[in-house]
Amino acid sequence: MSHDGLRRLETDGIIVLPDRPFVLSDAESGLLRAPVSDGRAKNVSLDPSGAVVRGAAGCEEALGALMNRYAGWARALIVEVAPRYAQALQRGRTSFRPRDAREAAASPRKDDRRLHADAFPSQPTGGKRLLRVFSNVNPAGESRLWRIGEPFEAYARRWLSQVRRPWPGEAWALHSLGITRARRTAYDALMLGLHDHAKLDADYQRLSPRRDIALPAGSSWIVFTDSLVHAALAGRFALEQTFYLPITAMEAPAASPLKILERLAGRVLA
């Protein structure tokens, strides 16, 4: 990708590649014809080590092999698009998403049909970027429908003053009790607060700026989901790979949520 193209990824938050499919083998395609979810988890997932599959109802070995292959493919795609990221990428969780995004979620906070920027309660990033690769592998040719919201800075300004600051010792306690995998920084707490305010604000969900995009079967897209305000409205059968990227590897670090929030808040957050 050109210098300007990489900056567009970092500032706009998404690149859609309509003709870059992840091609399934015949054996892998069979996993799309049988129920593989345990019915409790929304997605089938593979931990970053590539060894532990969760949320499956059988076929764990085959699903693990599929998701490991996808993880390697997704990394190669990012390195092709953004070679400067190659040495800095840190592998996160892989997911297979057989269920329809239109299915009701357990709670508004977990409802990805609502506009939000990603922040995860148990997985603080300390300011690292969330860079994710998605591929639509729907065997019936159905598109996946996403909604794209306003720029991240406008999203952050809405609730910045309303997000509570953590209590003294809160991050230590959450980590000590195993509730978080690392200590939450002020940045992580703020991102989580913005996420929750957005999802719980009915007027924001109904009235805020947005545009809908259809992501066809056979397409892939690369997204900074911590800065792209987005929602997944419809579609079945997608693969997703998460990577963590230090902002020092970016072409334009000032476009990161960490630097935007530090500028708005007037203080160091991580």
Assign residue 48 the CATH number of its domain. 2.60.120
Q: Could you tell me the residue range of the domain that residue 22 belongs to?
A: 3-265
pLDDT digits (tens, 9 = 90+) for 188-238: 999 999 999 999 999 999 999 999 999 999 999 999 999 999 999 999 999
Structure tokens at 28: 């892998």
pLDDT band at 2 (very low <50, low <70, confident <90, very high): low
pLDDT digits (tens, 9 = 90+) for 237-262: 999 999 999 999 999 999 999 999 99
Residue carrying the six token digits 């076929």: 59
pLDDT digits (tens, 9 = 90+) for 110-143: 999 999 999 999 999 999 999 999 999 999 999 9
The Cα–Cα gap between 78 and 84 comes to: 10
Residue 213 backbone phi and psi in degrees, to 5:
-130, 140
The answer as to whether 270 is a domain residue is no
The answer as to whether 56 is a domain residue is yes
Is it the case that residue 4 has pLDDT exceeding 90?
Answer: no
The Cα–Cα gap between 145 and 147 comes to: 7
Lowest model confidence (mean pLDDT) among 5-19, 74-88, 132-146: 5-19
Structure tokens at 174: 């959450």
The percent of residues in the chain predicted with pLDDT above 70, rounded, is: 98
Is it the case that residue 38 has pLDDT exceeding 80?
Answer: no
The answer as to whether 146 is a domain residue is yes
DSSP assigned state of 47: -
The answer as to whether 253 is a domain residue is yes
pLDDT digits (tens, 9 = 90+) for 43-80: 999 999 999 999 998 889 999 999 999 999 999 999 99
DSSP H or E segment with residue 26: helix 26-29
pLDDT digits (tens, 9 = 90+) for 139-197: 999 999 999 999 999 999 999 999 999 999 999 999 999 999 999 999 999 999 999 99
- Bigger pLDDT: 5 or 151? 151
The answer as to whether 72 is a domain residue is yes
Local structure of 90: helix, strand or coil: strand
Do residues 94 and 52 touch, judged by C-beta distance below 8 A? no
Total number of domains in the chain: 1
Q: Angle at the Cα of 101 (from 215 to 11), degrees rounded to 5?
A: 50
Is it the case that residue 3 has pLDDT exceeding 70?
Answer: no
Q: What is the pLDDT of residue 34?
A: 77
Q: What is the pLDDT of residue 1?
A: 56
